[in-house]
Chain A
């Protein structure tokens, strides 16, 4: 019917006005953005400098201040897709289990006999027990270290998979535990990468998990993917180990529970270390860049109480001995302990420049990655290229809209003008919804908007063609219009649902720019149905009420 209730009219117009309101900040993109940045900066630091205050006052507080987030292809920046080496954690878990197991098994030496670890693939632990008939008892002891794993598929799974064969026990993480561990590892990695990127303070980084073991990192405004990799590509695993020996042969056979690691300072120098660390980086509370007594760059750190206690006990027991500071399997330095360090703080120096010290401090503060990352995909887009794309996108949107408007008016006259107003309202609504949702606009997304300009008139075209037919069939103006709208409805809905299916598939399977395109397209579908049906209809009804036409040439 051609009647629209008053409250519905108010709702339609109200939605359009709100839409315009939320789209307006995008016209003043830079000003609004520096306003938002300044606000965030003032809140973060609590200091209000004149520049920040000026930037903040550049855009009034009471106006909407969300703008469309620009994708990397428009703003420039770096994109990385990393894969977490989850198997690293399996290995670390098994390696950490061994000393505990050894102690427990050694307690029952009387029944088990001598025990030793056999070489085995990474992530598994092979233990030989001297007395083969006591293997069941050994397995039972090991089982004591296993915990039940709670999974979605049900409880009852154990964390360790133990196999006894002859006189050897093969221990590894059970499948359920592996899944749970991997999940934790990736989540932890995401968390730590976020902390590291946040420390550097770039705007709106995207750090999300993708699939089982991948992490997508997008940082706008950063110079290159290499820079980003330097920040997140290192695990920054810091340990303090006791030194057994030094030498020049990297292939020497270390004793059980010992490792040979290269020196970062001196080429050709290798340290033999106890593998289990005295203290680890996890027990640090703070790290800041500073200089040592020679004025060389260094990093000051502070332990938490447990770390401080362990470190204090170790240093007082080993005065005169060297200990090694190990970062990512390289010995950064191996100072000799002159006195017991009980204050819980210390300094790392040697083989770094000021930038390096700065970065190391950031990495230590943010914590170590639980496993290393392999990079599968790297993209750097320069800011100039992004700006060119924005300019080209803006120009072509304006031209496309103008051309479509001209064509619609030439084809349908006044009704064409109504449809054109709807199309423009549609673009404004797309922008405002994207701003409010915080959706990202990409270059294909701009193409999506331009495409929407072309297709959004489709609903109106279907309606108008229908009205033409009804008029030709000799119906009165109001009746023809009313019937035209009603009859066209099912075609419009069906047509949009099929487009929506395609957009949904793109959203779920696509990534980056393609996803941005899908989002824009989907929003465009919804808004175009709204503007084409409700807004156009409202305008036509107003016109009918005002002119009360006896005939209509469409």
Chain B
């Protein structure tokens, strides 16, 4: 017998709905906490969304953030943040800092002259310093970018909902979208909790997460639909459990391969893209969870039309009614 790595045994019969109130409660709580976090702690918006200038400096000698700050304090920027960046791949002689300057009232973003002053001041502190990247975004564009980002997430949700509605039933579409909102909220909440940089690429990560989470949900729904047609009289809750157990192996398998790939990127992909990868990795995990514990719960509550031969919409009532019918 050949060896096979199996994270999930062949025939599982886990009752996924045994703790449905608890799991759904946890999800609801997590969503509420995320909203609370976003409301109280806010998000660490990158310059894409807030406007301003970021400068990435690199140096071969170690530096103190305080020294940099002292050098720049005289230039009179009110909104100045300096952080040191660490990465395992940097080695001993590579010291990276990110300097962020907010937009000023009068000029909008940092002017070229100010930029030269900053560079000169830092050169004085550390002659080895180089400027790896300088980016600045004006307040006009950043306001628009926020708007576009909202539209993007909204449009993606609506598009996916429409497609699922076409392919399945409206109950599935709602289940899927609630799961999507759950995933987005939790990921944004994570960004708020750890104050990770939230910028355009984070939106891209969110959208990818949406695609992935939905991908997962759709595979499960597809199986559920098949089972609904196969077992016309079994209670919906049993069929859902059956479906979940049947697809569990695949769900875990795909989540693991995706997580493996993303973890490699997280460790070796460098610091520039780290927040982006964190968003995707977290999204994949949450997406997997929401497929089982959010999307299907919603469908269970909404019920689905079971008897495809009749056209009466009333038959789309609760699963318990269906269960009692002969």
| A252 CA to B166 CA, complexed, in Å | 72
CB distance from A505 to the nearest CB of B (A): 4
How far is A495 from B258 in the complex, measured between Cα atoms in Å? Answer: 15
Q: Report how many residues on chain A are interfacial, defined by Cβ distance under 8 Å.
A: 80
Minimal beta-carbon separation of B315 from chain A (angstroms) = 24
From residue B236, how far is it (CB to closest CB) to chain A in Å? 20
Alpha-carbon gap, A472 to B134, bound state (A): 60
Within 8 A of B (CB), among A501-535: 501-506, 509-514, 517-518, 521
Nearest Cβ in chain A — how far from B156, in angstroms?
A: 4
Q: Given that A411-B253, A453-B261 are known contacts, is A498 also in contact with B218, CB under 8 Å in the complex? A: yes
Question: What CA separation (Å) do A380 and B53 show in the bound complex?
Answer: 11
Bound complex: CA of A224 vs CA of B272, how far in Å?
19
Contact call A447/B280, Cβ cutoff below 8 A: yes
Cβ–Cβ contact B148 & A376, under 8 A: no
> Among A385, A444, A465, which residue has its beta carbon within 8 angstroms of that of B56?
A385
Q: In the docked arrangement, what's the CA distance between A521 and B2, Å?
A: 35
* Chain B residues with CB under 8 A of A400: 260-262, 264-265
Which one, A224, A408, A509, contacts B152 given CB within 8 A?
Answer: A509
A468 partner residues in chain B, CB cutoff 8 A = 10, 249
In contact, B160 and A379 (Cβ under 8 angstroms): no
Q: Which residue of B lies closest to A211 (CB)?
A: B144
Contacts of B6 in A (CB 8 A): 411
Interface flag for B26 (CB, 8 Å): no
> Does A225 have its Cβ within 8 Å of any Cβ on chain B?
yes
Residues of A within 8 A of B288 (CB): none
Q: A224-B134, A404-B260, A458-B215 are in contact. Are A553 and B152 (CB under 8 A)?
A: no
Q: Whole-angstrom distance between the alpha carbons of A444 and B273 in the complex?
A: 7
Is B132's beta carbon under 8 Å from chain A?
yes
Q: Which of A403, A408, A413, A498 has the largest count of B CB atoms less than 10 A from its CB?
A: A498
Stretch of A46-54, A328-336, A362-370, A391-399 that contacts chain B = A391-399
Contact: A495 with B219, CB < 8 Å?
yes
Q: In whole Å, how far is B297's beta carbon from the nearest beta carbon of chain A? A: 20
Q: Which residues of B contact A188 (CB under 8 A)?
A: none
CB-based contact A81/B141 at 8 Å: yes
Q: Contact check: which of A379, A509, A553 meets B2 at CB < 8 Å?
A: A553
Question: Which B residues lie within 8 Å of A392 (CB)?
Answer: 89, 268-270, 272-273
Question: What sequence of 0s and 1s flags, for each residue 1-17 of chain B, a beta carbon within 8 Å of any chain A beta carbon?
Answer: 11111100011000000
Question: Which residues of B lie under 8 Å from residue A461 when comparing CB positions?
Answer: 250, 253-254, 257
Give Cα A496–Cα B214 distance, bound, in whole angstroms: 10
Q: How far is the CA of A229 from the CA of B111 in the complex (A)?
A: 12
- Whether B270 contacts A389 by the Cβ 8 Å rule is yes
CB-based contact B89/A447 at 8 Å: no
Q: Looking at the complex, which one of A376, A457, A462, A521 makes contact with B141 (CB distance below 8 Å)? A: A376
B280 neighbours in A (Cβ, 8 Å): 447, 451
Tell me the bound Cα distance from A410 to B151 in angstroms.
43
CA distance A468 to B253 in the complex (A): 14
Minimal Cβ-Cβ distance residue in B for A504: B159
Q: Is the Cβ of B212 less than 8 Å from the Cβ of A494? A: no
Of the candidates B132, B134, B156, B261, the one having the most CB atoms from chain A within 10 angstroms of its own CB is B261
A486 at interface, CB cutoff 8 A: no
Q: Does B37 contact A (CB under 8 A)?
A: no
Contact present for A450 and B262 (CB under 8 Å): yes
Chain A 479-507 against B: per-residue CB contact (8 Å), 1 yes, 0 no? 00000000100110011111111111110
Interface contact A505-B159, CB-CB below 8 Å: yes
Interface residues of A in 352-380 (CB under 8 A from B): 375-380
A383's nearest neighbour on chain B, judged by CB, is B132
Q: Chain A residues near B259: list those with CB within 8 A.
A: 454
Interface residues of A in 194-237 (CB under 8 A from B): 224-226, 229
Establish whether residues B265 and A450, one from each chain, have CB atoms under 8 Å apart when the complex forms.
yes
CB distance A447 to B276 under 8 Å? yes
Kindly list chain B residues whose C-beta atoms are within 8 Å of the C-beta of A124. Answer: none
Answer yes or no: B164 CB below 8 A from chain A CBs. Answer: yes
A455 at the B interface (CB under 8 A): yes
B163 partner, pick from A226, A490, A501, beta carbons under 8 A: A501
Please, what's the 1-or-0 string for A113-150, where 1 marks a CB less than 8 Å from any CB in chain B? Answer: 00000000000000000000000000000000000000
| A262 touches B (CB below 8 Å) | no
Q: Digit string of B61-96 for contact with A (CB within 8 Å is 1, else 0)?
A: 000000000000000000000000000010000000
Q: Are A506 and B135 in contact (CB under 8 A)?
A: no
Decide: B200 and A513 in contact? CB cutoff 8 A.
Answer: yes
- Cα A502 to Cα B214 with chains together (Å): 10
Q: Once the chains bind, are A396 and B215 in contact (CB under 8 Å)? A: no
B267 within 8 A of A: yes
The reply to whether A457 and B262 contact each other, CB–CB distance below 8 Å, is: no
Using A457-B254, A505-B152, A510-B152 as known contacts, say yes or no to A385 and B272 having CB atoms under 8 A apart: yes
**Which segment, of B38-46, B189-197, B202-210, B318-326, faces chain A?**
B202-210
A497 touches B260 (CB 8 A): no
Asked if B272 and A443 sit within 8 Å, CB to CB, the answer is yes
CA A453 – CA B204 in complex, angstroms?
18
* A378-B256 in contact (CB<8A): no
Min CB gap B275→A, angstroms: 11
| A543 within 8 A of partner (CB) | no
A381 within 8 A of B: yes
Residues of chain A lying within 8 A (CB to CB) of residue B261: 400-401, 403-404, 450-451, 453-454
Q: A400-B265, A411-B6, A458-B215 are in contact. Are A517 and B272 (CB under 8 A)?
A: no
Residues of the A chain whose Cβ atoms lie less than 8 Å from the Cβ of B163: 497-498, 501
A469 in the interface, Cβ–Cβ < 8 Å?
yes
Interface residues of A in 285-327 (CB under 8 A from B): none
Query: Would you call B132 and A382 a contact (CB within 8 A)?
Result: yes
Does A98 touch B at the CB level, under 8 Å? no
Known contacts A444-B273, A450-B264; is A521 also within 8 Å of B134 by CB? no
- A496 and B215 contact, CB distance less than 8 A: yes
Q: Assess whether B233 is interfacial by the CB under 8 Å rule.
A: no
Which residues of chain B in 163-178 are interfacial with respect to chain A, using CB atoms and an 8 Å cutoff?
163-164, 167
If A380-B133, A392-B268, A451-B208 are given as contacts, then 10 extra A-B residue pairs at C-beta distance below 8 Å, sorted by A number, are: A225-B134, A375-B138, A385-B56, A389-B270, A401-B261, A403-B261, A444-B201, A447-B276, A454-B257, A506-B204
A-B complex: 7 closest residue pairs judged by Cβ atoms: A454-B261, A392-B270, A502-B211, A454-B258, A499-B211, A400-B264, A396-B268
Chain A interface (Cβ within 8 Å of chain B)? 73, 81, 83, 224-226, 229, 375-382, 384-385, 388-389, 392-393, 395-397, 399-401, 403-404, 407-408, 410-413, 443-444, 446-448, 450-451, 453-455, 457-458, 461-462, 465, 468-469, 472, 487, 490-491, 494-506, 509-514, 517-518, 521, 553-554
Chosen A-B contacts, 28 in total, with CB atoms closer than 8 Å, are: A225-B134, A376-B140, A378-B136, A380-B134, A385-B58, A385-B272, A392-B273, A395-B268, A396-B265, A396-B269, A400-B265, A407-B256, A412-B4, A413-B2, A448-B208, A450-B262, A454-B254, A455-B258, A461-B253, A465-B247, A465-B253, A472-B11, A494-B167, A495-B219, A498-B214, A502-B207, A509-B148, A509-B149
